Amino acid sequence: MASWELAIPIPIFALQAVSFPDWIERLRADVENQTDAAFNRALVNYYRDGSDSVDWHADNEPELGPEPLIASLSLGAERVFQLRHLQTKQRISIPLPHGSLLLMGAGIQGYWQHRIAKVKDLHQPRVNFTFRYMD
């Protein structure tokens, strides 16, 4: 992922949405068929190697509604998706190999945070598509 630092944080939902290119539209339709859920937004994260990561967070922005469903499609190098319970601090690790689809169901964002941690000696890239629904 690009290492840019901003002096003023900008919420990701402040960015203007654009129409899906045909190939992402096909991915979205496949993800909807697999999950039996509707999605109208996608975020794409590119991880160059194990030095790229996303720290602990929850996808709990008001624009996503009270109990958002998030579908995460991983392509490329396997990475470990980690969950951490907000109260108990319990941790769960889920390997996400190439082609895996993870669905974070209703309620997850209110009780858990998640991340993709840095990994030493990983030199392959990964692309992650997170599909969600916004009004």
Counted domains in the chain: 1
Domain membership of residue 48 (yes or no) is yes
The answer to whether 126 and 75 are in contact (CB under 8 A) is yes
Per-residue tokens: 64: 């996503």
Could you tell me the pLDDT band of residue 7, with boundaries at 50, 70 and 90? very low
Whether residue 41 is contained in a domain is answered as yes
The answer as to whether 81 is a domain residue is yes
- Is residue 56 domain-resident? yes
Residue 97 forms part of a structural domain = yes
55 inside domain: yes
Report if residue 13 sits inside a domain. Answer: no
Half-sphere exposure of 97 (CA within 13 A, CB side): 0
Helix segments in 10-100, DSSP class H: 22-35
Q: Is residue 70 part of a domain?
A: yes
Question: Tens digit of pLDDT for each residue in 63-106?
Answer: 898 999 999 999 999 999 999 999 999 999 999 999 999 999 98
**The domain that contains 31 carries what CATH number?**
2.60.120.590
Q: What's the pTM value of the predicted model, to 2 decimals?
A: 0.84
- CA dist 57 and 59 (Å) reads 7
Phi, psi of 26 (to 5 degrees): -65, -40
Note down the domain range covering 122. Answer: 19-132
CB 131 within 8 A of CB 42: yes
Grade residue 125 by pLDDT with cuts at 50, 70 and 90: very high
- Looking up tokens 């496949």 gives 30
